[in-house]
Chains A and B, each alone.
Chain A
Amino acid sequence: MVSAMSLSPYAKAWRVTITGAVAAGLFYGTVWGTDDFFPLGPMVQYAFSIPPDGEIRSLHLFARTTAGQEVEIPLEPYYVGVRRAEIESHLGRHRQDPSLLQHLADAHRRLRPGDAAPATLTLRTKVIKLKDRVPSATRFIEEVSWQVR
């Protein structure tokens, strides 16, 4: 029960101290930190710059079914257990060790049992070339392929 007429100096002091400590952590994370400092890291959502004549890259997952048909599988948690940006950040590891794609196949089989089973999985980067902020050409770069077990 609170009996004082207003918050005691002690109650105010610890609140101000905590506020200051978290603010200091957030300041440190913003200026020197990385995503690793979550939840006090820098607010890097859309904080990168794309030159007006630059490129827009995005990773896509394609599956060749046992029937020989090629379909795109969305890189979303409810399809393959991970988000596209997560696979993008692990792309180097996937290139070195294509067997990591087996995890995507396993997750897809568990999460989408009704979908056609892929025989091959391929990660491709879609590259949209900008010219003065307007797309001028699109191409795909084959990153890594894997025969599903």
Chain B
Amino acid sequence: MAGPVTRWFFAPVPLRRIAVFRALVYLFVPIDMFLFTGSTWGHVHSAANYRPVLIARLLHLPAANEVSVPVLFGVVLVACLVAAAGRLPRVAGYTAALGFGYWAILAMSYGKVDHDHLALMVALFVLPTIGHVGGSRTAQPGTPDTAKAEAAGWAVRCVQIAVVATYFLSTYAKIRFGGWEWPNGATFHWAMSRRGTPVGQFLADFPTLLHLSQWGVLIAELLSPVLLFLRGRALHAGVVFFLGFHLMTWVTIAIHFLPLVVCLLVFLPLERVRLRAAIGRKGAGGGAAGQKVAVVGDQAVDPVS
């Protein structure tokens, strides 16, 4: 199992990146439970429409009800706040992962399934595997932190793969369900009509632009796996491109894929963000903006003295 594949999977990542990403993810989850999987709250009132997805049937998960939904929210909220603070990363982390997993299943078991949560669910399940990252500086080769940095590398890689899979596999779905005529159809017009914002309804008057956009989206999604192999500025440009794509869908049809956007950020050197409170560091200003830091894809983590 040695060789380039293993090195790629376990490329060490600065633990600061995990500290920042973890805070982002865990603080985002409770917001998600109101804004994006918020339909679970409403499902309390529509028990008649409960059509549990496969995993819910296998696990005999009950429908949303007036007691379980607020309790579940409370449990996930507490777990997320604890985990965001870097405390009990495994216990709180797995509690948040399982609790939010059930919550998302409830959101998707009433007739409509969304596809913007894969990366977030993966993040919730892999982050606890790293354990404490505490006040650790960028790992130095030959120290115990190297193992942590490799564990962090795997977690980051999993989230990155899930992000890319969301894009790339959607091209397969477009051809599988929409056929080869998908890019030449009027799907974007359909989207603008059904849920277009004022900007989207304005753009609906430009059918050629929408037609070209369908080709653009299909090609971009098809090329998305390059994100896993780019480095430095090219990688950052790729991330900015997809951020722009999500911004456009939000501006035109109020669909933002924000859970995916949060995970997309893990491609960036988040360790440069100053987030002292969240990682409980005091004193030494290592890892602040401008400091040399290791980035996924580097052959090794640079020693920091």
Contact = CB atoms under 8 A, between A and B. Distances in A.
Nearest to B151: A7
Nearest to B108: A38
B198 interface: no
Contacts, number: 199
Interface size class of B (residues with CB under 8 A): 35 or more
Interface string B99-111: 0000011001011
A13 B53 CA distance: 31
Interface stretch (B79-87, B176-184, B282-290): B176-184
B113 A35 contact: yes
B186 interface: yes
A56 B193 CA distance: 8
A103 B46 contact: yes
User: Looking at chain B's contact residues, is the secondary structure mostly helix, strand, loop, or mixed?
Assistant: helix
A85 interface: yes
B169 A43 contact: yes
A30 B172 contact: yes
A88 B185 CA distance: 22
B112 A42 contact: no
Contacts of B186: 50-52, 54, 56, 130, 133
A107 interface: yes
A2 B44 CA distance: 44
A31 B144 CA distance: 42
Interface of A: 1-9, 11-13, 15-16, 19, 22-23, 26, 30-31, 35-39, 41-52, 54, 56, 58, 77-78, 80-83, 85-90, 100, 103, 106-107, 110-111, 128, 130, 132-135
